[in-house]
Structure 1
Amino acid sequence: MQSLRRNRLTIAVNLSLLLLPGLAAAQDAATPPAPAAAPEEAKTLDRVQVTGTRIKQTNAVTSQPVAIITRAQIDQSGATSIGDFLQQLTASGQALNAKFNSSGNFGYPSSGGGIGAGSSQVDLRNLGSQRVLVLVDGIRWVNESSASGVSGSADLNTIPMAIVDRIEVLEDGASAIYGSDAIAGVVNIITRKKYDGALVHVKAGSYGHGGDDREADITVGGASDRFSGVFSAGYVETKGISSGVWGQSSMPIPGAGIGAGSSATPQGRFTFCDPRITTPGTQGYCDAQGNDWFDITLNDGTTTPNYNGGDPTGAGGTYHNWSGADRFNYAPYNLLLTPSKRKSLFASATYDINDTTSLHAKALYNNRESTNQAAPEPMFVGPFAGTGGIADSIVISALNPYNPFGIDLDPSSNFGWVTKRPLELGPRIFSQNVDTWYVNLGLNGTFQVGRGMDWSVDYVHSENKAEQTFSNGFNIGKIKLALGDPTVCAASPGCIPLDLFGGEGRPITQAMLDYISTPQHDSSKQVLDLLTANLTGDLWQMGDDRYAGFAVGYEHRKYEGNFNPDPLRQTGESQDSFASPVSASYTVNEGYAELLLPWTKGFSTDFAIRRSQYSTFGGATTGKAGFRWQPIEDLVLRGTWSQGFRAPNLGELYGLTQFGATLTDPCGTTGTPGPAGPEYVAGCAAQGVPVTFEQANTQITTFTGGNPNLQPEKSDNYSFGAVWSPGWADNLAWSSKLDFEVNYFHYKIKDAIQAPDIQAILNGCTAGTITGAACSGFTRGAGFNLNPPTDFLANLGTITTNGIDLKANWVGPQTNWGQLNAGLQATRTIGYKAVDADGNQTQRRVGVEVNDSAIPDWQSNLQLGWKSGDWNASWIVRYISSVKEDCGNAGVTPATGCPTAADIHTLGSTVYNDAQLAWNHSMGIQGLKLSVGVNNIFDKSPPVCVTCSLNGYDAGTYDLPFRFWYVSADFRF
């Protein structure tokens, strides 16, 4: 009876799913419970391997929480990407997806991994995608390249949806089992290995504002006495959605964080002083503080700029004083959804050499073509540009035939900047082409020792190679020549003087654009070679039908990474961003051992240890201990404690790039002169910043990159939980089955690899709460604007987070009108805290929106299902609790919901509703299944985020602002 109840709890966990209750799960649940098995039947239960341990056992309810997501659930979601599907887990945090359109807007993040344009990742426990290990059939997957860096995260768009049989998510640390990167958890994607017949799948969907989705794939398979094989080919295409179709982005001056707009406008912005004006207190007087400098822009409709003898805003002048109302709304040129095409081929085969040994092989090719788009590239010329490069030192000659001011504009004396947004060139286009190759060859079998021992040996070669072409960008070196002395320009092949002064009334000519614009090409590549060997079985008998289980193994890995930015980026001549190349590799040798001790039929303990030896930093040892206790037939209590580590990846070690951080200067935010709060007054005065100072630009270039002296992150995590499957709820008039699960988690990461929270440090240094070396990177240049600070990676301090997962599943009785089922999953994040080595806490915490990312207190998914014959229906409700953001990070005030910088803005709680109706054996055709679904049925828009960049909402937390409908057909034959 104990074994039977254990089997029932196994089913309970498989039903305790993180998302939509699938059709197959509903069918299984509808099957009446089997009669009590005889003791000898219980002994023949199949032993299986579940993610989180390599020991095969009959108990799927292991000491650690594992969620199993069926193929039916994936189909029912309407998702076109594994990553997009997993990002709806209640345990998920912010991760890249197709809603991110950041190429060309901010430069490169400090992680050295690049922008990840077009990729889709997964984050667990808000600890970052780099701390989630992605496996395919128990073997680690190659990390992404995405053309712009060497990443420590896997792109799930490289794994076709068509090949997935199920997904197992380990919501617990597992470095002792799998090695580096498994600090937050493990996602194990199990592929189809056997398929009898053929399956053709087609799907079409749309957001109604673009974003049309098309899918088609075919899977065929068969088997003989010794051979089985599966082949799959797939195609997925998603169209883009322009930000301009959403009112929040398309209004003249949006009321979110994008309300700051850009200083680079089609009419131009000109900040300078005129040394011919010598009277103090007169605009144009060249005082050292820049108090009387001109800060002007062309009037709309101007065809011939008129400086009017040094009084550009007076009678006859064609300029007016610059204000926030003149800022340019770049949002309509961006994308809400980035387009992509994915093509894939996959084959898997197994051949039984004899009764005890099999040969297996897998091969995959996946290609992704994706595109990002940004507003026409702005030109920032002069020291206020703050690039730290060529643009800051450009002198605009008085002899330039288009210079209306008649004076040299010289950064050393009288020049702040000239900005210009040339709409005539068109938007910036970033096109990615990403190829992924994967080959796995291996042997597996059984040793006839004792009750039998299972072994496997695998070799894997995989690579991810990405190319990116950037169109409509500028060569700042050529801009310098074209703005300088025309004689020097004339001596340079192809150079013609550049006009930045005519606004829209006198557009830049095509000949000028042809000289200064140039396509740029970036590429990156990651290669993973892996050899692994594993052995698992029983050691000794510990009682009736109880044996000590073990697993041991060895793994060798070699990582290679290359990043080759365009030569213009490397020399600093790209107006877009600076980046330096990376070419490096390292090797890892690891051995591990696991031991499972079933002390009684209801109580067992398990232990694991792993030793890793890296060519970069040396060795590391991690351990794990867990228990499973079944005090009564209906209840399992479990818990784990484990150590983890994450080795710095190649991008984190060696990358060097620039990032356009959206920083708010406490001494004078954009649109509001003077200190943002009283706590900053003394600090700003000490830096000599006048009370009239106003931040020139919301994006302040920051030098970021890797650190070759990084050491591995280390972690401790523990979890406690219970699974309750009450027998009294079986086969009743109102219930066929009822299951509950609760789990408490706690993670502490030490020596966390991350860049400092530069906004928090800037605020603290200005307020005087932070002093010393942490503040040395903040200096001021022309016009008291911040010089580019540095924000390099370091083993900064600690990250801690804890919370509770709650799950419940109910299956109703079978009736004449069908059967109902319901499932609920909820995650309550209790705490999140990141503190550096100096005790400075980052702004990120529970219930707060910061840096385009939120950690809601509660996330929950509720599924309601109905099945009757060949008909299945589901209704899913997804809930995200409210979060708050600091208006002081908005970069501009006032903004919607932010009258002053001292205010707090609330992003209200959000509820999404999804539904699907499916008809099996449709129209009497055996094997044909038709489905129709709608996600975000009520067209719920994401809450406005005043601190978020680009489109003014958090694309990692919330859905797109439109409903998505789809229809699909599956035909099995």
Structure 2
Amino acid sequence: MYRKNRIAKAVSGIFFVGLSSTIATSAAYAADEEDKGNVERIEVTGSRIKRTDLETPVPVTVITRQDIKQTGAINVGDILKQSPVAIAASDQSNSTFSTTTVGLNTTALRNLGQERTLVLVNGRRFVSGVDPSTGYAVDLNAIPTALIERIEILKSASSAIYGSDAVAGVVNIITRKDFEGVEVDLQTGISDHSDREQNTVNITTGGNWSSGNAWVSVGYDKDNGLKSSDRNFSKYDQAIFLDDNGNEVVDNLFSSYPPQGRISYKDSGGKSHTVNADGTPYSGGFNRADYRQLVIPIERKYAAAGIYQNVTDNTKLWTELNWNSSKTINSTIEPTPLDIINNVWLKDRNGTGGMDVNSPLVPDALRQQLVAAGITNLNQVSAFVRRMVEFGPRSTDVTRDTVRVATGVNYSIDDNWEWDSYLTWGRTKQDQFDGGQINVERAATAMDVIDDGSGNLVCRNELARLQGCVPLNFFGAGTVSQAAVDYIRVPSKANGAAEQFVVATGITGELPLELPGGAMSMAAGIEHRLEKGSFNPGELAQTGASSTNAAEPTDGSIHTNDYYLEFVLPVIEKLELDLAARYSDHSIVGGQTTWNAGVEYSPVDNFKLRASAARAIRTPNISDLYAGRGENFATVVDPCNGITATTTGIVADNCRSIPAVAARIAAEGAFNLTQAEVQSTGGYQGGNPDVKEETAKTWSGGFIWQVMDGLSMTTDYYDIKVDDAISTTSRNVVLTRCFTSTDFSQNCNGNAIRDSNGVLTEVNTGTGNENNIKTRGLDVEATYTADMGPGAFKAELKWNHLFEYKQTPIGGGETTDYTGEVLYPRNRANLNLSYSFDDFSVAWRMRYWSHVVDSNDGSNLNFTDGNPLVKYNSIKAVWYHDLNATYALSDKTMFNVGIRNVFDKKPPVLNQSSNYGSTGINTAPEAYDVTGRYFFAGVNFKF
């Protein structure tokens, strides 16, 4: 085993109290030459080689346990999204309208997506917590903050070190170890609106003996969340309109699917009319925000344990166990909006169902108006829609249970070489129950009624009556009986699992080769990884019999065998090269080689230049490859619409080669689609087993500078280019590629299905290598410490400047420039000021999000004339201020209190008119605080 000396202890001490790694490096600079050979070697994020210097050619930033305590956050996702280099990919606000991803907390470095950010726990992979039909990412709900010692963020691609997915960088969560005695951690919090109460309790016990350590930790926390109606800015669904003077104003927006039902039709003269479903004058819409969540409530239970045993002087065995159960509680959105014509009678799919205007369910007032307009069947009206409030809100209750076991052996071959082997197994099981859903087949049956001869209305179908069918009356508010609700309500259940198995072995040490700067070090190893995923959306969803879209199950697995090699070459005393390469043999895309190359040079004392370059990959995951197809009714533009016999060009030629299209042109002179036909195109989207890997070329360069005693800084420029980025191919792109091809397939290789009239009924799509992404920026970190009065002052600055973020379609099309938009600010920064003396410390934390725009290209719109936003396209810079204080009553008791968003800064307006707004939230929760001023207090006891 390596021997500790005073220098190693000093370096480790500096690191763990939370100063920047820059200062730790300067401490290493200060080491006497005669002591360097005895400093303990440790593993640093971004390298497999154990070393004495905490710095590597790639930049790493650290979030310490003290930082975590100062935020008062009980979720890792909330901690990470405060970092200037990370953003929430999914959180408790932006997932409120989803189903399978509701309540997830995932992170994305450099805004490159959760799938390009590798999350490790203690340097090893962690199982995905996302439904395998939806995506792949670690759910940070599964890693309780009470167990975290620090978080190291590697701000550079590192596939050669860690394998696939480390394109944007790596988040390495280091958990606590070496517990002695019993520790109880309690915290509670509440907003100044007296809501969003959060409570957490953690109990940990452990003990050391002469040859090892063991510990057990259990905990519980609950976040009560927020309803949209709990805040003024989100209590109504809103949009931007123009007033009489042409000025942009915010106004409430109501859904046109009201509880009383709405029927729109045209009379014989072509004039449009809209009435309530009972025939009375239309009385208005519905506020969806009344049922929405601003923050999804989550309850978590967890347990963890670890044991570390030295079986000999040279051999240590270890095992880590984790169990976590995360559950969303009463996560709701508005009741089902039912389009009776298209959802029940399936007119948009050429259905012929309907209801005769003389049905006994149709109110006389409505019947008279429809008959006067020449309408004999309700499938002839323009719209017949209703909000199904009798069924209650649509709810999604999801439980995610994560189990993970990691075990391994460390063997010190001698004082120089060490061999490590480990295996990990993890599984996340997701059980989901969706409320408020409707069986549309039963709805159609229950709307077909007759008089039983005694003045009672009954379902026409006798078998259905025996099965409980009762008339379903959609004509007016409160007209759906409880018996009808019971008959057509359908419980929707879904379940799935993601599973991961990793086994790895490797060695690290110094080679018997000396360069002018010292001995060469190396690491080498082999890693096998197996990923499995399945998801069952439920029988009714698979058959399309419920009010939700049809979906197919997901089932698949992938594996990879990796071989890696890394060298550290001290070329001269002040110049060091880091070289790494990895070969990955993937079961689907085959062999891939990645590499990292870095250099560190210290021209003078206390100043170090560093640079790195890398080739990284992201191989397709189970969702990319095997996600079950889900139904989609997004608008599709048929390239054949408007084609005549004389239209020129390859698109027209390909259209006319389709017999049904050609026949219609011959009969009508042109292939002109009606509005109903334009809106009738459905289709499916899902995985694609032919998708290939993404590749990324990245480089960074900067310096580390100990400016003077107490003041240090790092500056790093980064450049990332992702080629062949995987995303879902839009259905319009599928058609464009098909109809502009010289090798034309009439059904676009099975992806475009037409009926006998030539109308597109399905356009199917899946994942593909669709885009190239380019981003560039600058990171600056600075730390200043000084004795001041009776105590010590400390200031820390972390700043990110974004030069560029652009995405270009591979198959042609305009580049989209996101630079300076809401989630891509040009500047983000954190400034932390703290002062401590004796047993008391206080910290003032400031978070900055610079001025942004909602759209660079005018793609947002006001709801009056549809023109791009002007006033509300621009969002001012925001500063958030947090205050925290701690007091150590004794060595055994520590109190912690704080206030987040001290000045109760309200979020900016981003609603339905905005690209980054959403219903029930009216802002971008990834960027802006939706809770408001928040108070928290905690206490830590040790026994």
- Global fold match (TM > 0.5): yes
Give the corresponding residue for 2:423: 459
Q: Does 1:350 align with 2:308?
A: yes
Q: Which moved more, 1:705-714 or 1:403-412?
A: 403-412
Give the corresponding residue for 1:99: 93
Give the corresponding residue for 2:700: 719
Q: Which residue of 852, 855, 867 corresponds with 1:883? A: 852
C-alpha contact (below 8 Å) 1:142/1:526 kept by paired residues: yes
Query: 1:695 and 1:822 mapped to 2: Cα distance?
Result: 64
Query: 1:248 and 1:665 mapped to 2: Cα distance?
Result: 36
* Matched letter for residue 754 of structure 1: S
Query: 1:26 and 1:153 mapped to 2: Cα distance?
Result: 28
Shift of 1:829: 1.3
Query: 1:598 and 1:756 mapped to 2: Cα distance?
Result: 47
Shift of 1:11: 6.5
Query: 1:58 and 1:85 mapped to 2: Cα distance?
Result: 29
Give the corresponding residue for 2:247: none
- The alignment partner of 1:122 has SS state of strand
Q: Does 1:745 align with 2:718?
A: yes
C-alpha contact (below 8 Å) 1:420/1:500 kept by paired residues: no
Query: 1:153 and 1:738 mapped to 2: Cα distance?
Result: 38
Deviations 1:321-353 (A, max 9, x none): xxxx93422012101111111111111111111
Q: Does 1:502 align with 2:487?
A: no
Shift of 1:820: 1.6
Query: 1:158 and 1:392 mapped to 2: Cα distance?
Result: 46
- The alignment partner of 2:319 has SS state of strand
C-alpha contact (below 8 Å) 1:921/1:929 kept by paired residues: yes
Alignment map for 1:249-268 (pairs within 5 Å): 249-251=234-236, 255=240, 261-268=254-261
Distance 1:436 1:253, change over 3 A: closer
Structure number with higher strand proportion: 2
C-alpha contact (below 8 Å) 2:517/2:570 kept by paired residues: no
Query: 1:931 and 1:701 mapped to 2: Cα distance?
Result: 55
Alignment map for 1:326-341 (pairs within 5 Å): 326-341=284-299
C-alpha contact (below 8 Å) 1:270/1:296 kept by paired residues: yes
Give the corresponding residue for 1:204: 188
Deviations 1:816-848 (A, max 9, x none): 332221111111111111111222246461122
Q: Which structure has more RCO (C-alpha within 8 Å, separation ≥ 6)?
A: 1
Query: 2:114 and 2:929 mapped to 1: Cα distance?
Result: 19
Q: Does 1:55 align with 2:17?
A: no
Give the corresponding residue for 1:677: none
Shift of 1:389: 7.8
C-alpha contact (below 8 Å) 1:527/1:559 kept by paired residues: yes
- The alignment partner of 1:874 has SS state of strand
Give the corresponding residue for 1:473: 437
Q: Which residue of 121, 146, 156 corresponds with 1:162? A: 146
Alignment map for 1:13-52 (pairs within 5 Å): 25=19, 37-52=31-46
Query: 2:53 and 2:139 mapped to 1: Cα distance?
Result: 32
Distance 1:24 1:549, change over 3 A: closer
Distance 1:33 1:795, change over 3 A: closer
Q: Which residue of 93, 100, 109 corresponds with 1:124? A: 109
Distance 1:786 1:908, change over 3 A: farther
Q: Which residue of 321, 335, 353 corresponds with 1:376? A: 335
Alignment map for 1:663-678 (pairs within 5 Å): none
Q: Which moved more, 1:931-940 or 1:253-262?
A: 253-262
Q: Does 1:233 align with 2:218?
A: yes
Give the corresponding residue for 1:187: 171
- The alignment partner of 2:787 has SS state of coil
C-alpha contact (below 8 Å) 2:29/2:605 kept by paired residues: no
Q: Does 1:651 align with 2:623?
A: yes
Q: Which residue of 781, 784, 800 corresponds with 1:810? A: 784
RMSD value, Cα: 3.9
- The alignment partner of 1:589 has SS state of strand
* Matched letter for residue 527 of structure 1: E
- The alignment partner of 1:652 has SS state of helix
Paired-residue identity, %:
27
TM-score (norm 1): 0.82
Q: Does 1:418 align with 2:384?
A: yes
Q: Does 1:845 align with 2:830?
A: no
* Matched letter for residue 132 of structure 1: T
Q: Does 1:710 align with 2:677?
A: no
- The alignment partner of 1:190 has SS state of strand
* Matched letter for residue 257 of structure 2: A
Query: 2:486 and 2:730 mapped to 1: Cα distance?
Result: 40
* Matched letter for residue 877 of structure 1: M
Q: Does 1:553 align with 2:525?
A: yes
Q: Which residue of 578, 590, 599 corresponds with 1:606? A: 578
Query: 2:495 and 2:97 mapped to 1: Cα distance?
Result: 14
Query: 2:352 and 2:715 mapped to 1: Cα distance?
Result: 61
C-alpha contact (below 8 Å) 1:269/1:295 kept by paired residues: no
- The alignment partner of 1:900 has SS state of coil
- The alignment partner of 1:43 has SS state of helix
Shift of 1:972: 2.1
Query: 1:438 and 1:295 mapped to 2: Cα distance?
Result: 61
Name structure 2 gaps, 5 residues minimum.
Answer: 1-5, 242-249, 451-458, 639-669
C-alpha contact (below 8 Å) 1:96/1:120 kept by paired residues: yes
Distance 1:196 1:384, change over 3 A: closer
C-alpha contact (below 8 Å) 1:384/1:392 kept by paired residues: no
Distance 1:440 1:173, change over 3 A: same
- The alignment partner of 1:752 has SS state of strand
* Matched letter for residue 911 of structure 1: V
Query: 1:247 and 1:700 mapped to 2: Cα distance?
Result: 39
Shift of 1:252: 7.4
Alignment map for 1:135-150 (pairs within 5 Å): 135-146=120-131, 149=133
C-alpha contact (below 8 Å) 1:557/1:588 kept by paired residues: yes
C-alpha contact (below 8 Å) 2:256/2:262 kept by paired residues: yes
Shift of 1:46: 1.6
- The alignment partner of 1:540 has SS state of strand
Give the corresponding residue for 1:75: 69
Query: 2:714 and 2:80 mapped to 1: Cα distance?
Result: 20
Distance 1:13 1:877, change over 3 A: farther
Give the corresponding residue for 2:928: 958
TM-score (norm 2): 0.84
Give the corresponding residue for 1:918: 885
Distance 1:259 1:663, change over 3 A: farther
Query: 1:760 and 1:968 mapped to 2: Cα distance?
Result: 54
- The alignment partner of 1:469 has SS state of strand
Q: Give the number of aligned pairs.
A: 866
Name structure 1 gaps, 5 residues minimum.
Answer: 1-5, 16-21, 108-114, 284-293, 300-304, 307-317, 667-685, 731-736
C-alpha contact (below 8 Å) 1:800/1:832 kept by paired residues: yes
Q: Which residue of 816, 822, 833 corresponds with 1:864? A: 833
Shift of 1:75: 1.4
* Matched letter for residue 382 of structure 1: I
- The alignment partner of 1:95 has SS state of strand
Give the corresponding residue for 1:524: 496
C-alpha contact (below 8 Å) 2:96/2:293 kept by paired residues: no
C-alpha contact (below 8 Å) 2:104/2:141 kept by paired residues: yes
Give the corresponding residue for 1:674: none
Q: Which residue of 837, 843, 850 corresponds with 1:874? A: 843
Distance 1:187 1:24, change over 3 A: closer
Query: 1:775 and 1:331 mapped to 2: Cα distance?
Result: 42
Distance 1:959 1:779, change over 3 A: farther
Give the corresponding residue for 2:454: none
- The alignment partner of 2:120 has SS state of strand
Shift of 1:261: 4.0
Deviations 1:826-873 (A, max 9, x none): 111111111112222464611224xxxx21111111111111111111
Query: 1:452 and 1:484 mapped to 2: Cα distance?
Result: 83
- The alignment partner of 2:872 has SS state of strand
